[in-house]
Amino acid sequence: QSVLTQPPSVSGAPGQRVTMSCAGTSSNIGAGYDVHWYQQLPGTAPKLLIYGNINRPSGVPDRFSGSQSGTSASLAITGLQAEDEADYYCQSYDNSLTAWVFGGGTKLTVL
């Protein structure tokens, strides 16, 4: 059971917009710790997608955006492409566990 809760799967057709959530608690996201997002393509290492809730590293398309409110965060992908099919993980810090924590991951399927 992950400290951060993500839906196991989401799907969308090419060109559509999808969102995925990351639910935390008052000891992590709700305590003001930023949320970061990673994309993991099949058989590869995770890649940083969003840091500090809303920031995109250089090279990440602006189709990807992040938001945060209260004890949860969201990742949105617009103009869905086949190459976006991957697992997506949120990550933050939990002060009651004194640990960096990940969500269980969301598998995105492009229909």
Q: How far is CA 32 from the centre of its chain?
A: 17
Which of 109, 12, 21 lies closest to 71, judged by CA? Answer: 21
Q: Of 13 and 98, which CB lies nearer to other proteins in the complex structure?
A: 98
Closest contact distance (angstroms) between CB of 21 and other proteins is: 15
> Residue 46: phi, psi to the nearest 5?
-60, 150
Answer yes or no whether residue 103 interacts with other proteins by CB under 8 A: yes
Round to whole Å and give the CA distance between 39 and 48: 7
Answer yes or no whether residue 70 interacts with other proteins by CB under 8 A: no
Answer yes or no whether residue 51 interacts with other proteins by CB under 8 A: yes
Answer yes or no whether residue 66 interacts with other proteins by CB under 8 A: no
Answer yes or no whether residue 57 interacts with other proteins by CB under 8 A: yes
Answer yes or no whether residue 105 interacts with other proteins by CB under 8 A: yes
Round to whole Å and give the CA distance between 16 and 27: 34
Answer yes or no whether residue 81 interacts with other proteins by CB under 8 A: no
Which of 53, 54, 47 lies closest to 24, judged by CA? Answer: 53
Chain contacts with other proteins (rule: CB under 8 A): 2, 32-34, 36, 38, 40, 45-48, 51-52, 57, 87, 89, 91-93, 97-105
